[in-house]
Amino acid sequence: MEENLDAQIEALLNVEKQMRLAGEVAGTKKAVIDIVELCYKARAWKTLNDQIILLSKRRGQLKQAVTAMVQQAMQYIDETPDVDTRIELIKALNNVSAGKIYVEIERARLIKKLAKIKEEQGLIAEAADLMQEIAVETFGAMAKTEKIAFILEQVRLCLDRQDYVRAQILSRKISPRVFDVDTSKEKKKPKEGDNIVEEAPADIPSLLELKRIYYELMIRYHSHSNDYLEICRSYKAIYDIPAVKEDPAQWIPVLRKICWYLVLSPHDPMQSSLLNSTLEDKNLSEIPNFRMLLKQLITMEVIQWTSLWDMYRDEFDSEKNLLGGSLGAKAAEDLRQRIIEHNILVVSKYYSRITLKRIADLLCLSLQEAEKHLSDMVVSKSLVAKIDRPMGVVCFQTAKDSNDILNSWAMNLEKLLDLVEKSCHQIHKETMVHKAVLKA
């Protein structure tokens, strides 16, 4: 049988040689495909690998023939009898396509298949290294969704091996704006001379599904550094996906997460803006507890931590059974920190000077804790305050320099002169009217 196969391959190799030397593209492609098919039908996997490498190295081999051979052999990968044979075939095709720009898309797909096998074997670091070799963002002919899916796979593997720095670098290759493109518009027909973009394979998710995968990976990345505001923004992007917004079973858990992460985020303009926009959301009325929680945060009143925690503890614990899982080990501690910060900001709005003991009483903290939280907020520039420790007094007024004082005086004088001028004008007007009446 083997001798018969060798004889058939030899005959086809002679045909291939004649066609190649004559520059016959169609004939060469057919001969190459016939050789590959012959090996596949005979289930001679080793011969197939050898022939693939041999054919690609033949002198003056046509690009079209190599492309056709690689594409044909890729169809047989899933037909291989075992994993080792599959890996050998992928490696043979990978060797052939390495460094050849006309089969770069095929090489990317081969590497993805190989990385999947490595991951199934538990070799996550090896799979991640394999995927990082390919820079799909430079492939002009690859479909946009396939590029995004490939980069997201690279990011996921980096997160799985806890390589957060590389995960961030790779994630920046995807601009979030790419998900907002209107997919309903008709595709333009390529003009003469344009690069023809290949259709994405059937197993590649749609753009909106990729958007969800991207933001779920971003949540994983930001959870590592407890960047609550970025996690909140990622959940907000998932919440805005039409498929999620239409299904209450999907949007309620996401909206709950948005509320929790808003409360956990440090106070800054972005957090304040998101807080107000979330409160305007009509869907929030479906989860009144969370509406009340956000309302408390924008109301300039001191919040009692113990009563708040008693009210929301069950909600907090039930998050681990919902989409996205629990809020993290540090979340409860950080929640208390945010409530204390909110309370200090409230106190600073109502008082210009206050004793440290009074602050500690208002916040239900010890003197040391109150001073520590106050100092941390001053260091992070979210508050302007000075503590007179011997006197035990906190001053929330900003110290004005001489220029500011002079400017305020100048402004006051300007306002005063303006008022005098208006008064003179009114008196003059009244006098004129009075004279006119007397004459009449």
Domain count along the chain: 2
56, 55, 39: which is closest to 47 by C-alpha? 39
Q: Which has more pLDDT, 382 or 414? A: 414
Is the residue at 315 inside a domain? no
* Domain containing residue 98: CATH number: 1.25.40
- Reported as a single tens digit per residue, the pLDDT across 34-52 is 777 777 777 777 777 777 7
pLDDT tens digits for range 286-321:
888 888 888 888 888 888 888 888 887 887 777 776
Number of residues in the chain: 440
pLDDT of residue 3: 63
Tell me: the pLDDT tens digits for 176-202?
888 776 555 545 554 544 456 666 666
- For residues 120 and 76, the answer to whether their CB atoms sit within 8 Å is no
Contacts of 206 (CB under 8 A, 6+ apart): 145, 183
The answer to the question of residue 312 being in a domain is: no
Q: In what order do the strands lie in the sheet with 393-395?
A: 353-355, 393-395, 386-388
Beta bridge partners of 387: 394
In a domain, 10, yes or no: yes
> Residue 347 maps to which CATH number?
1.10.10.10
Residue 3 belongs to a domain: yes
> Model confidence over 228-274: pLDDT tens digits?
888 888 888 888 888 877 777 878 888 888 888 888 888 888 888 88
Instruction: Identify whether 134 is part of a domain.
Output: no
Domain limit, last residue, from 97, 121, 145: 121
Is residue 4 a part of any domain in this protein?
yes
Burial of 299 (0-12, 13-18, 19+ CB in 10 A): exposed
What gap in Å lies between CA 13 and CA 275, rounded to an integer? 71
Rounded CA separation 371/403 (Å): 31
CA distances from 228 to 212, 325, 419 (A): 18, 15, 51
Question: Tokens 């753009």, residue?
Answer: 207
Task: Specify the DSSP element, H or E, that contains 127.
Answer: helix 124-132
Residue 434 lies in a domain: no
Does a structural domain hold residue 86?
A: yes
Residue of 200, 199, 187 lying closest to 150 (CA atoms): 200
Query: Whole-prediction pTM value?
Result: 0.76
Task: Give the DSSP per-residue string, 181-232.
Answer: S-TTSPPPPPPTTSPPPPPPPTTSPPHHHHHHHHHHHHHHHHHHTT-HHHHH
d(CA 14, CA 349): 90
Range of the domain at 353: 339-414
- Band of residue 350 on the pLDDT scale cut at 50, 70, 90: confident
